[in-house]
């Protein structure tokens, strides 16, 4: 076997036999597992049941309508996202019915939209439409769990007396579940509307379960207010028919779907994988650069380099190390991407919903080639810097003096690139740093999801390749001139002068 | 045929000359001692022979070709500064170096097991280097140098750090390899090892050659001394440079120490005594030891003013 490959294999084995390597390798699976777990742990509590005792008989209907409207808004929002994600609407949106307001993707839905949706049959009709139109491979639409549900007063609840009796009988009911169409739920709010509600000084009594739900309270209150306001207007002599017409007036607007490429959510989803790869590049470089550095310092401090150099040239040793570390990088990335792809198609929930569309950025061969190129080139370009630190250091303590500025010099611009790309992928900072070889891999990988002109990719890639070539020439000289010098200070210039001598 | 030839080789590190216009040849077979004090340029010369360092001037030939990693395992090298990959096992270490020198894994493993067995490490083949004692690790490194059964074995201060038992093992290995036809070049500043092992010697002082030849020629660098017990003054015998009485006479007999003239032969002095009826009760020949020769040849050259001493130990 070629000497370089033997050195590479040894380097690879040495690194992959360390505990820190395996811990690092487990980072991505652990992150996915934690995400899954946290999604479950952080899930909002299931909706609650609301019991309304309306002794006037005038308010309950309005409250029910409000709950139905809010639920329809939630369903429409999810249907819009689903239609957009799985391209359900394309290619013939004209075939959709008037109630399929969700088919053009996510947007603000007006009361008219909700009314049309309801008139067309609501969720049941939408699901039937989707069964006909969804592309193969798309999962079934999973409607959001119903939030707040109005339920009939459970047995034992006092409804025909005063608020105090209602409250007293509600308290034990709140400690157990009641049956609802969506399964057993806790009663989150009880509302008692006395028969003389509307008379001066008479109040509706709200009995919360202890969990603050200001939006729910506000929704119910808005409906009560609307009816009482109408009563007041009527009492003032205003023509109720005219009032109904006036209240029904809505400024006519059409909310159109966002233009192609202008959808920030979509853009972010498309950029997620390249951004994640840029981050993983940074992480893996920091880890493997440090492993390589430790290995080189061990070789120098253990005084075994002379034995090795009697068998292989310094260049063989250098390139072997680089091949070995590149192998480690490929293994790490392969494992991470493999785990991500596996998770995308084997787990359910938010993580998979995020990963699956994010992987769509790999559908273009050009992007895949660019990602692989910038990843490997970035790895080489920065690993050489770590190697240089190892070459001029006799111990890890020596190396720290160089490592701190090196790590800061890489991570600070990286963070700036990431922030800039999230705000504006074509902003000046990412574009400028795309032409600085050390930062080009991060900047380009971060920008790839949002589209980079071909000339810029080619130019920046060529510059990076040339930079790596120069790096190798310099590190090769430094390597040869410094390998057998230990315990001698003097810095880089002295080493280069010795090389020249 | 020479296995190693240096012609006018000089190596400078900035303002310090580690090796100065050095020329010599090592013929094939036997054990060649490369002697000199610390910092004399031995290691630098060996590193140049192995292409780890390049000479500033001059040419070097190793096994008939310029120095370089031939990849055929014909050269085995044990450096002065020893170290191994601590996480590798003893067996894997020897196999790794064998493969770096062009062996197949199977051949390397067979040879490695044989050597480790011979060095008494058969039970430790799967032990990590960091778990071995220093002496064991040194034997592993020696096995790594010999795994290819090389034609030319270069050992840089091979005995340093070894206990007497392991020194004896190493001496035995060196002799066995030489007997089997390999050429062994080893550097040392311990003259006893050179005296026991070397057929030929080269002495370096401050980067320059001060002597090359066999042990006889080396000893001839210093006059042979005789100790006599005689009635008369032996100073007038032919071939005697000087004679000094050791104490007063007892019963007319006096002890003398005699220095022969350069090239003087002790046998000729004895013959002269017999021919002239020169009465003797004792006639002892004291030949110069290599240690004395070394001190004589190298001692003066190494006594350099401190200001001229090298500041760097670069490859020296």
- Per residue in A219-273, pLDDT tens? 999 999 988 888 888 888 888 788 777 776 767 666 565 555 455 555 555 667 7
Total CB pairs under 8 A between chain A and B: 81
pLDDT tens digits along A384-393:
898 888 888 8
User: Is pLDDT above 60 for B308?
Assistant: no
User: Is pLDDT above 80 for A322?
Assistant: yes
* Closest chain B residue to the Cα of A313, Cα to Cα: B69
Residue B145, both tokens: 């140098």
Contacts of A346 (CB under 8 A, 6+ apart): A352
Which of A84-88, A190-194, B48-52 ranks highest by mean pLDDT?
A190-194
Q: Cβ contact (<8 Å) for B79 and A306?
A: yes
* Closest chain B residue to the Cα of A307, Cα to Cα: B79
pLDDT at A190: 93
Specify the 3-state DSSP secondary structure of B4: strand
Q: Cα–chain-centroid distance for residue A236?
A: 55
A372 contacts A277 by C-beta, under 8 angstroms: no
Exposure string for A290-324, b = 16+ CB within 10 A, e = fewer: bbbbbbbbbbbbbbbbbbbbbbbbbebbbbbbbbb
A63: pLDDT confidence band, cut at 50, 70 and 90? Answer: very high
- Determine the average pLDDT of the residues in B34-53: 88
A306 CB within 8 Å of a chain B CB: yes
- Determine the average pLDDT of the residues in A210-216: 83
Going by C-alpha positions, the residue among A259, A483, A487 that lies closest to residue A390 is A483
Q: Cβ contact (<8 Å) for A307 and B12?
A: no
Q: Provide the edge-to-edge strand list for the sheet that holds B254-260.
A: B240-245, B254-260, B225-230, B280-286
Q: Cβ contact (<8 Å) for B87 and A14?
A: yes
Chain A neighbours among B 99-118 (CB < 8 Å)? 99-101
Helix axes A27-41, A350-358, angle to 10 degrees: 130
Number of neighbouring beta carbons within 10 Å of residue A454: 9
A145 CB within 8 Å of a chain B CB: no
pLDDT at A255: 59
Quote the strand ranges of A32-156, DSSP E. Answer: 49-54, 149-151
pLDDT at A269: 59
User: Is pLDDT above 70 for A348?
Assistant: no
B62: pLDDT confidence band, cut at 50, 70 and 90? Answer: very high
Q: Cβ contact (<8 Å) for B312 and A3?
A: no
User: Which of A306, A479, A484 to mutate: most B Cβ within 10 Å?
Assistant: A306
Q: Which CA distances in Å does A383 have to A6, A293, A470?
A: 19, 9, 14
Q: Cβ contact (<8 Å) for A310 and B56?
A: no
pLDDT at A44: 62
Q: How far, in Å, CA of B307 to CA of A387, rounded?
A: 36
Q: What is the pTM of this model?
A: 0.68
Q: Cβ contact (<8 Å) for B77 and A485?
A: no
User: Is pLDDT above 50 for B93?
Assistant: yes
Min CA distance, B16 vs chain A (Å)? 11
Higher-confidence residue of B12 and A360: namely: B12
Q: Cβ contact (<8 Å) for B315 and A484?
A: yes
A309 CB within 8 Å of a chain B CB: yes
Min CA distance, A466 vs chain B (Å)? 29
Closest partner residue to B312 among A302, A309, A488, by Cβ? A488
* Closest chain A residue to the Cα of B103, Cα to Cα: A1
B138 CB within 8 Å of a chain A CB: no
> Max CA-CA distance within chain A?
108
Tell me what the pLDDT averaged over chain A comes to. 81
pLDDT at A488: 45
Q: Cβ contact (<8 Å) for A488 and B12?
A: no
Residue B232 phi/psi, 5° resolution? -105, 170
User: Which of B51, B52, B148 to mutate: most A Cβ within 10 Å?
Assistant: B52
Chain A contacts of B144, Cβ < 8 Å?
307
Strand B2-13, strand A49-54: pairing: unpaired
Closest partner residue to B84 among A1, A302, A497, by Cβ? A302
Q: Cβ contact (<8 Å) for A303 and B52?
A: no
Q: Cβ contact (<8 Å) for A484 and B47?
A: yes
* Closest chain B residue to the Cα of A301, Cα to Cα: B83
Going by C-alpha positions, the residue among A50, A47, A49, A48 that lies closest to residue A204 is A50
A483 contacts A314 by C-beta, under 8 angstroms: yes
Share of chain A above pLDDT 70, in %: 83
Tell me what the pLDDT averaged over chain B comes to. 86
* Closest chain B residue to the Cα of A482, Cα to Cα: B314
A10 CB within 8 Å of a chain B CB: yes
Min CA distance, B71 vs chain A (Å)? 7
Residue A275 phi/psi, 5° resolution? -65, -40
pLDDT at B305: 41
Q: Cβ contact (<8 Å) for A6 and B100?
A: yes
User: Is pLDDT above 80 for A355?
Assistant: no
* Closest chain A residue to the Cα of B87, Cα to Cα: A14
pLDDT at A95: 65
Helix axes B164-179, B134-146, angle to 10 degrees: 10
B134 CB within 8 Å of a chain A CB: no
Domains and CATH numbers, chain B: 2-219 (3.40.50.300), 225-287 (3.30.70)
Q: Cβ contact (<8 Å) for A310 and B52?
A: yes
* Closest chain B residue to the Cα of A483, Cα to Cα: B52
* Closest chain A residue to the Cα of B51, Cα to Cα: A310
Chain B contacts of A312, Cβ < 8 Å?
69, 100
Q: Mean pLDDT lowest for which of A87-91, A166-170, B32-36?
A: A87-91
Number of neighbouring beta carbons within 10 Å of residue B56: 15
Which region holds residue A83: left if phi is over 0, alpha if psi is between -120 and 50, else beta? alpha
Min CA distance, A319 vs chain B (Å)? 14
B200: pLDDT confidence band, cut at 50, 70 and 90? Answer: very high
Closest partner residue to B14 among A309, A485, A501, by Cβ? A501
User: Which of B12, B62, B81, B150 to mutate: most A Cβ within 10 Å?
Assistant: B81
* Closest chain B residue to the Cα of A305, Cα to Cα: B83
B84 contacts B68 by C-beta, under 8 angstroms: no
Q: How far, in Å, CA of B129 to CA of A103, rounded?
A: 68
Chain A neighbours among B 274-313 (CB < 8 Å)? 312-313
pLDDT tens digits along A151-208:
999 988 898 889 899 999 998 988 888 888 888 888 989 999 999 998 888 899 999 9
Specify the 3-state DSSP secondary structure of B247: coil
- Determine the average pLDDT of the residues in B156-174: 86
């Amino acid at each position: 076997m070629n000497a370089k490959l033997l050195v590479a294999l040894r380097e690879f084995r040495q690194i992959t036999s360390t505990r820190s390597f395996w811990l690092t390798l487990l980072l991505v699976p652990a992150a996915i597992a934690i995400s899954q777990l946290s999604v479950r742990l952080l899930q909002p509590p299931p909706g609650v049941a609301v019991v309304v005792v309306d002794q006037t008989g005038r308010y309950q209907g309005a409250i029910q309508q409000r709950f139905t409207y809010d639920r329809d808004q939630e369903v429409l929002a999810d249907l819009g996202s689903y239609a957009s994600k799985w391209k359900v609407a394309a290619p013939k949106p004209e075939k959709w019915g008037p109630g399929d307001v969700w088919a053009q993707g996510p947007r603000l839905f007006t009361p008219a939209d909700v009314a049309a949706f309801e008139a067309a049959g609501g969720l049941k009709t939408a699901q039937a439409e989707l069964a006909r139109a969804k592309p193969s491979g798309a999962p079934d639409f999973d409607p959001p769990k119903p939030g707040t549900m109005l339920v009939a007063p459970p047995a034992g609840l006092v409804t025909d007396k005063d608020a105090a009796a209602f409250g007293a009988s509600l308290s034990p009911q709140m400690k157990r579940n009641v049956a609802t169409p969506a399964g057993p739920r806790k009663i989150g709010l009880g509302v008692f509307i006395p028969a003389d509600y509307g008379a001066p000084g008479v109040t509706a009594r709200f009995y919360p379960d202890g969990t603050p739900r200001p939006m729910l309270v506000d929704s119910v209150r808005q409906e009560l207010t609307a009816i009482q306001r109408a009563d007041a207007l009527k009492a003032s002599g205003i023509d109720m028919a005219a009032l109904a017409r006036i209240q029904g007036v809505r400024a006519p607007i059409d909310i159109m779907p966002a233009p192609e490429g202008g959808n920030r959510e979509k853009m972010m989803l498309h950029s997620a994988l390249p951004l994640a790869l840029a981050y993983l590049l940074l992480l893996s470089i920091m880890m493997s650069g440090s492993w390589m550095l430790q290995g080189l310092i061990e070789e120098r401090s253990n005084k075994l380099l002379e034995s090795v150099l009697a068998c292989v040239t310094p260049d063989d040793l250098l390139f072997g190390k680089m091949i070995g570390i590149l192998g480690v990088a490929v293994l790490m990335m392969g494992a991470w991407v493999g785990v991500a792809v596996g998770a995308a198609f084997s787990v359910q929930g938010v993580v998979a919903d995020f990963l699956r569309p994010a992987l769509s950025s790999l559908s273009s061969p050009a992007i895949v080639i660019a990602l692989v190129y910038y990843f490997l080139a970035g790895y080489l370009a920065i690993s050489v810097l770590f190697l240089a630190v190892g070459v001029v250091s006799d111990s890890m303590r020596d190396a720290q003096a160089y490592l701190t500025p090196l790590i800061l010099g890489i991570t600070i611009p990286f963070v700036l690139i990431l922030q800039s790309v999230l705000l504006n992928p074509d902003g000046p900072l990412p574009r400028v740093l795309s032409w600085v070889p050390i930062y080009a891999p991060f900047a380009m990988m971060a920008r790839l999801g949002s589209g980079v002109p071909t000339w810029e990719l080619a130019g920046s890639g060529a510059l990076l390749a040339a930079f790596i070539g120069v790096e190798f020439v310099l590190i090769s000289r430094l390597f040869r001139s410094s390998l057998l010098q230990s315990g001698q200070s003097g810095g880089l210039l002295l080493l280069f002068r010795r090389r020249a001598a | 045929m020479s296995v190693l030839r240096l012609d006018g080789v000089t190596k400078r590190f900035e303002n310090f000359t580690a090796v100065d216009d050095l020329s010599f040849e090592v013929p094939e077979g036997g054990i060649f001692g490369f002697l000199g004090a610390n910092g004399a340029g031995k290691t630098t010369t060996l590193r140049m022979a192995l292409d780890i360092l390049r000479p500033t001037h001059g040419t070097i030939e190793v096994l008939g070709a310029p120095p370089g990693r031939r990849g055929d395992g014909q050269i085995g090298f044990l450096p002065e500064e020893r170290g191994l990959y601590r996480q590798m096992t003893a067996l894997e270490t020897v196999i790794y170096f064998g493969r770096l020198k062009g062996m197949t894994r199977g051949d390397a493993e067979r040879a490695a097991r044989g050597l480790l067995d011979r060095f008494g490490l058969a039970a430790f083949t799967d032990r990590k280097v960091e778990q071995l004692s220093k002496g064991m690790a040194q034997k592993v490194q020696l096995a790594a140098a010999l795994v290819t059964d090389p034609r030319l074995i270069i050992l840089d201060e091979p005995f340093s750090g070894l206990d007497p038992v392991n020194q004896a093992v190493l001496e035995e290995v060196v002799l066995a390899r030489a007997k089997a036809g390999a050429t062994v070049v080893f550097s040392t500043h311990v003259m006893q090892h050179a005296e026991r092992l070397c057929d030929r010697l080269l002495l370096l002082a401050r980067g320059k050659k001060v002597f090359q030849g066999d042990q006889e020629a080396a000893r001839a660098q210093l006059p042979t001394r005789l100790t006599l017990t005689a009635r008369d003054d032996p100073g007038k015998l032919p071939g005697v440079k000087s004679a000094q009485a050791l104490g007063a006479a007892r019963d007319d007999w006096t002890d003398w120490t005699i220095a022969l003239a350069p090239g003087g032969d002790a046998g000729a002095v004895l013959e002269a005594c017999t021919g002239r009826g020169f009465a003797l009760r004792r006639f002892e020949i004291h030949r110069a030891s290599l240690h004395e020769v070394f001190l004589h040849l190298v001692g003066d050259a190494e006594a350099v003013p401190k200001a001229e001493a090298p500041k760097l130990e670069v490859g020296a």
